[in-house]
Structure 1
Amino acid sequence: MEMMKVGIREFRADLADYIASSRPIAVTRHGQTVGYFIPSEGREEGDLAALQKANQALGQLLSEHGIDAEEIVSEFKAARKQAGARRKAGAA
């Protein structure tokens, strides 16, 4: 299978089409190859199954330790807010 060469602007503009393709692509800038896009075929189902398994394991761990996921999200948001306030105070 011959590799297609595509300019970086065209690649960015038509990214959805290139992702759906099974053809490898050399991405170029001013005629020079700056990278390659090699689509992965048939991995989506495996990746989804792995994510679902990880989600189940996480849910089980949270349940075993009596941890509420919403509480974790709230704590995370509060910590991010405090970190942002510290950054702003340090920049002033």
Structure 2
Amino acid sequence: MSAIKVGVREFRERIASFLESDTPVAVTRRGETLGVYVPTRRKHPKTADLSELKAAADRLAKALADVDQEQLVAEFKQLRRRGKANQLK
């Protein structure tokens, strides 16, 4: 598998996608290769990890079930105004 070549700036901007990819990445500056990122094999998530994540998501959904969205937005705006007022002092 050949490496794809990207500049330093592009590597920084797209690092998340490169970390998820299986393709090696040659990082260059002005055409000169500075280094090569070679991804390692990732372990697949265990079933137990996935079930724990689902349980946490279910708990979060239950906790947020009674939250009034309009009230939440109003409280956020009020706190934001207070924060701005405190910064001006």
TM bin, normalised by shorter chain, reads: 0.3 to 0.5
- Give 1 or 2: higher helix fraction: 1
